[in-house]
Amino acid sequence: MEPADIQRVGVVGAGTMGSGIAQVAATAGHDVVLQDVDRAALERGVDSVESGLARDDDVGPGEAETVRDRISTTTEMEQLAGTDLVVEAVVERLDIKQDVFDSLDRLCDDETVLGTNTSTLSITTIAAATERPSQVVGVHFMNPVPVMPGVEVVVGEHTAPETTGLAHGFAEGLGKTTWESADKPGFVVNRVLMPWINEGIRAYDEGVASKADIDAGLRLGTNAPMGPLELADHIGLDVALHATETLHEELGDRYRPAYLLKRKVEAGDLGKKTGRGFYEYEN
């Protein structure tokens, strides 16, 4: 299957992320089946899509209704049969995700590609619940989905190159830019972002500065759009804690200076000023 062949898209879970994914997929012209076990969550999800479309300057008022009508909602997983690609965005629990993937594997066509929006769980472990691990891939959207420009494509141990290519093509078709990560804890973004947030919280707790000054320091000192404490609030402290606990369990103490950092300094590769650090520069 080529990205252009993806017509019908399934989204499992109609919460914060699922409703956003349904919105951007429908805006890009896909027919979307949005499934959730909870009827009230589906209603909230559709409300969120409608208000999201109303806020989207690229979608005119007449068009918003057409886009909205491309999304059908259901509590029955069987309705996902006949989709070309499914993105799972249910709660961040391995047992629940594996149940969902087991069901999707049974009811979807053989060619259907199954994506997961997991932030911290292993794609390989989720894929192990299916008989099609080569067609399982991480398609990690960022929150809020309609606003954030990037999607992280995560390659599981058995993910086939065609599946990875399809995930990139699908996300690009939604107007996103993609990057790729191996199936290692936290992938790229959360692996780097969570210690940053965690250290901001520690700095506050240890009296380094006020909350406002820590956030201002990181905003003004690094040009980040938000400081660590405000970003933690934005993500949800429970979500941040869960992600950090997972990383801690998997990776242990990440705060010692990285070996590669020391090696590069010893080699004199100091960054832009020497023409070479992690990248190369023409001075």
Nearest residue (CB) to ligand NAD, 66 versus 125: 125
Q: Is 51 known to be catalytic?
A: no
Candidates 19, 48, 119, 122; catalytic one: 119
Nearer to ligand NAD by C-beta: 24 or 41? 41
Q: How far is the CB of 199 from ligand NAD (least distance, A)?
A: 20
Cβ-based nearer residue to ligand NAD, 102 or 269:
102
- Which residues partner with 241 through β-bridges? none
3-class secondary-structure state, position 257? coil
Tokens of 245: 């606990």
Name which of 128 and 239 has its Cβ closer to ligand NAD. 239
| CB nearer ligand NAD, residue 89 or residue 232 | 89
Residue 106 identity (one-letter amino acid): R
Q: Is 140 a catalytic residue?
A: yes
Catalog residues that contact ligand NAD under the rule CB under 6 A.
12-18, 35-38, 41, 89-92, 96, 100, 117-119, 143, 235, 239
Q: Please, what is the minimum distance in Å from the beta carbon of residue 148 to ligand NAD?
A: 9
Inter-residue contact 155 to 183 (CB < 8 Å):
yes
Residue 119 known to be catalytic: yes
> Of residues 122, 140, 168, 198, which has the active-site annotation?
140
**Alpha helix (H) residue ranges in 139-258:** 161-173, 189-205, 211-222, 228-235, 237-251
Report, in Å, the least distance between residue 131 CB and ligand NAD.
Answer: 19
Shortest Cβ contact with ligand NAD: which residue? Answer: 15
Q: Catalytic one among 48, 152, 198, 230?
A: 152
Q: Report, in angstroms and rounded to the nearest whole number, the Rg of the chain calculated over CA atoms.
A: 20
CA 173-177-183 angle, 5° bins: 105
CA distance linking residue 131 with residue 154, whole number of Å:
19
Question: Which residue type, as a one-letter code, is found at position 268?
Answer: G
* Active-site residue, from 48, 181, 190, 198: 190
Residue 179 phi/psi, 5-degree rounding, is -140, 170
Give the tokens for residue 211. 């909350």
What b/e string do you get for 259-283 counting C-beta neighbours within 10 Å, with b at 16 or more? Answer: eeeeebeeeeeeeeeeebeeeeeee
- Catalytic annotation, residues: 119, 140, 152, 190
